[in-house]
């Protein structure tokens, strides 16, 4: 999950500082800890992140499972 978050952030050319500001967090370290899996995030935070990337929470946090499900549905 956390690898997905970093990868998607980088694909959108956003820094951790920019994500911190977009999410309304006071400290970059808070976002860094979320991205590195050191602390859990709330559902509200997950929704905010999905809005920033214009995608679903599932696509960000359960990318492997979503991909596997799509692959099995097309087989």
Exposure string of 9-48, with b = 16+ CB inside 10 Å and e = fewer, is beeeebebeebbeebebeeeebbbebbeeeeebeeebbeb
Domain covering 2-74 in this structure, CATH number: 1.10.260.40
Asked if 2 and 37 count as a contact pair (C-beta separation under 8 A), the reply is yes
Q: Domain ranges in the chain?
A: 2-74
Per-residue pLDDT for the chain (75 aa), expressed as one digit of tens each? 567 889 999 999 999 999 999 999 999 999 999 999 999 889 999 999 999 999 998 888 776 544 445 445 555
């Amino acid at each position: 999950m956390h690898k997905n978050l970093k990868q998607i952030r980088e694909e959108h050319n956003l820094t951790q500082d920019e994500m911190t500001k977009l999410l309304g967090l006071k400290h970059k370290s808070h976002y860094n800890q979320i991205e590195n899996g050191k602390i859990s995030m709330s559902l509200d935070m997950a929704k905010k992140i999905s809005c920033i990337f214009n995608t679903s929470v599932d696509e960000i946090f359960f990318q492997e499972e979503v991909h596997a499900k799509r692959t099995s549905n097309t087989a």
